[in-house]
């Protein structure tokens, strides 16, 4: 899904950088440039140091999640670091609510501990108390000139406090939102818990966007848009899961065409078969009429030589299902396997296919029906 680069394993957890880190050097140069003066190299060094510190604090936060998950017997696949945050990829959510809350809280807790360790060291400095007051009231005036050590200590305290408190906001996908959803799942059910936390995410994120304009903080605005976007995506995902759980395979089952495409057929013949249907993907059979895989219309039209056999271009991987299978479970299997679709069998024979495009079409039709009912009720 995202282009990343492996930077190593930290405490046994694979750690990767997202491609957007390539934008960080450019951002540093922009911040360090002053019109009429040019590039200020002292500012380049300063912002590079700040970037490294932020990177370390986010990494510690994500390690808190990953190592706690591992301690609770839950697999932490890897950590991905972004310029504005990171994520510990935990494919299988623990069953116990206590374990979920503990894992989600472990990241902010790591930042809280860092802030608490930094606080006495900062207060020990000659100007520490003044710097602390400034960070508690950033709109006030700093009446002293702090040393480099005092500035780094102050930044360490402030950033870790912000990471901890910000992530504990009850808004999905932040840790606080995930904790709230875990606590609400049992009494209210997963669907209601997800709706509550994602709507909170959209509301809180929208409020933070407004705040970012009032205080002229573009980074806060970008972070807030991230919250709104991911909350909306998760809300839509929950709606899709609900729709698919209520549907049956018959709602999306595509019956086999009378005219078949064989792996030994030439591409021009397969194109002729596609011309008689609106399907984007069709099954491919071997000479014994056994299903071999699927071929995509666009591949044959744009990439294939018309005289080549179809076997050069079809995808041989697919999954199988029965008529009794649940559509939601089958769709998740298709997505996990990263294949075109599934062949549905009954009595040892293929009776139809469930293709990704048909599932998407079914969801689009459900969304249009919902929108039509909503607008008809809202009309005067």
pLDDT in tens, the chain (380 residues): 458 888 888 888 888 888 877 877 877 787 777 777 777 777 778 778 888 888 899 999 999 999 999 999 998 888 888 877 788 888 888 889 999 999 999 999 999 999 999 999 888 888 778 777 777 666 656 666 777 788 888 888 988 998 999 999 999 889 999 999 999 998 998 889 989 999 999 999 999 999 888 888 887 888 889 889 989 988 888 888 888 888 888 888 888 888 899 999 999 999 999 998 888 888 899 888 888 988 989 999 888 888 999 999 988 888 888 888 888 999 989 888 888 888 898 887 888 888 888 888 888 877 776 555 545 554 45
pLDDT for residue 116: 94
Cβ neighbours of residue 59 under 8 Å, at least 6 residues apart?
10, 15, 79, 81, 86
* Domain-located, residue 259: yes
Widest distance between CA atoms in the chain: 86
| Sheet with strand 85-89: strands edge to edge | 4-10, 13-18, 78-82, 85-89
Strands 78-82, 13-18: pairing kind:
parallel
pLDDT for residue 365: 78
Statement to judge: residues 159 and 38 lie in one domain: yes
Number of domains in the chain: 3
Residue 17's H or E segment, with its range, is: strand 13-18
Q: Which tokens is 135 given?
A: 């960070």
* Domain-located, residue 376: no
* Domain-located, residue 310: yes
Question: Residue 283: which of 295, 271, 274 has the closest Cα?
Answer: 295
Choose the final residue of a domain: 111, 146, 168.
Answer: 168
| Chain centroid offset of residue 317 CA | 26
pLDDT for residue 370: 57
Domain of residue 229: give its range: 170-246
* Domain-located, residue 371: no
* Domain-located, residue 289: yes
Angstrom distance (rounded) from CA 52 to CA 54: 5
Statement to judge: residues 23 and 77 lie in one domain: yes
* Domain-located, residue 378: no
Angstrom distance (rounded) from CA 4 to CA 168: 27
Statement to judge: residues 49 and 145 lie in one domain: yes
Q: How many residues does the chain have?
A: 380
Choose the final residue of a domain: 188, 213, 246.
Answer: 246
pLDDT for residue 378: 47
Q: What is the CATH number of the domain that holds 340?
A: 3.10.580.10
The residues with which 82 forms a beta bridge, in sequence order, are 85
Other Cβ atoms closer than 10 A to 15? 21
Statement to judge: residues 138 and 233 lie in one domain: no
Q: Which tokens is 151 given?
A: 């500035």
C-alpha to C-alpha distances, 100 to 49, 235, 262, 304, nearest whole angstrom: 34, 20, 50, 49
Q: Which tokens is 19 given?
A: 């491609």
Other Cβ atoms closer than 10 A to 1? 4
Statement to judge: residues 47 and 117 lie in one domain: yes
* Domain-located, residue 24: yes
* Domain-located, residue 265: yes
Cβ neighbours of residue 8 under 8 Å, at least 6 residues apart?
14, 15
Statement to judge: residues 31 and 141 lie in one domain: yes
Residue 5's H or E segment, with its range, is: strand 4-10
Statement to judge: residues 298 and 150 lie in one domain: no
Statement to judge: residues 233 and 217 lie in one domain: yes
Q: Which tokens is 59 given?
A: 């990494």
Across 280-294, b (16+ Cβ under 10 Å) vs e yields ebbbbbeeeeebbbb
Statement to judge: residues 14 and 84 lie in one domain: yes
Angstrom distance (rounded) from CA 176 to CA 368: 33
The DSSP letter of residue 46 is H
pLDDT for residue 114: 94
The residues with which 285 forms a beta bridge, in sequence order, are 262, 291
Statement to judge: residues 13 and 137 lie in one domain: yes
Statement to judge: residues 239 and 261 lie in one domain: no
Statement to judge: residues 13 and 115 lie in one domain: yes
Choose the final residue of a domain: 131, 146, 168.
Answer: 168
């Amino acid at each position: 899904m995202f282009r990343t680069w492996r930077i190593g394993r930290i405490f046994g957890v694979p750690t990767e950088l997202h491609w957007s880190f390539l934008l960080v050097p450019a951002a540093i140069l922009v911040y360090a440039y002053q019109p009429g003066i040019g590039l200020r190299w002292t500012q380049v060094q300063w912002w590079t140091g700040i970037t490294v510190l932020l990177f370390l604090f986010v990494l510690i936060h994500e390690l808190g999640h990953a190592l706690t998950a591992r301690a609770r017997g839950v697999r932490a696949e890897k950590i991905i670091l972004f310029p504005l945050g990171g994520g510990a990829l935990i494919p299988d959510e623990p069953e116990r609510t206590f374990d979920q809350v503990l894992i989600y809280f472990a990241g902010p807790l790591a930042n809280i501990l860092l802030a608490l360790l930094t606080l006495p060291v900062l207060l020990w400095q000659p100007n520490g108390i003044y710097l602390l007051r400034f960070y508690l009231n950033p709109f006030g005036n700093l009446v002293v000139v702090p040393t480099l050590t005092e500035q780094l200590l102050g930044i360490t305290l402030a950033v870790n406090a912000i990471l901890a408190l910000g992530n504990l906001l009850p808004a999905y996908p932040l840790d606080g939102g995930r904790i709230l959803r875990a606590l609400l799942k049992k009494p209210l059910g997963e669907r209601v818990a997800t709706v509550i936390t994602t709507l909170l995410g959209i509301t809180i994120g929208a409020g933070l966007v407004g705040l970012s304009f009032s205080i002229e903080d573009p980074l806060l605005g970008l972070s807030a848009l991230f919250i709104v976007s991911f909350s909306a995506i998760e809300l839509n995902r929950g709606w899709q899961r609900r729709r698919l759980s209520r549907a049956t395979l018959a709602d999306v089952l595509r019956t086999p065409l009378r005219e078949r495409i064989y792996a030994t057929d030439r591409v021009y013949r397969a194109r002729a078969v596609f011309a008689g249907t609106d399907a984007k993907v069709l099954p491919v059979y071997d000479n014994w009429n056994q299903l071999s895989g699927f071929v995509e219309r666009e591949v044959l039209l744009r990439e294939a030589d018309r005289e080549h056999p179809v076997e050069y271009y079809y995808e041989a991987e697919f999954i199988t299902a029965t008529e009794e299978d649940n559509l939601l479970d089958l769709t998740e299997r298709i997505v996990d396997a990263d294949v075109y679709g599934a062949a549905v069998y009954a009595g040892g024979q293929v009776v139809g296919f469930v293709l990704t495009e048909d599932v998407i079409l079914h969801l689009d039709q459900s969304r249009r029906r919902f929108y039509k009912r909503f607008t008809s009720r809202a009309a005067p």
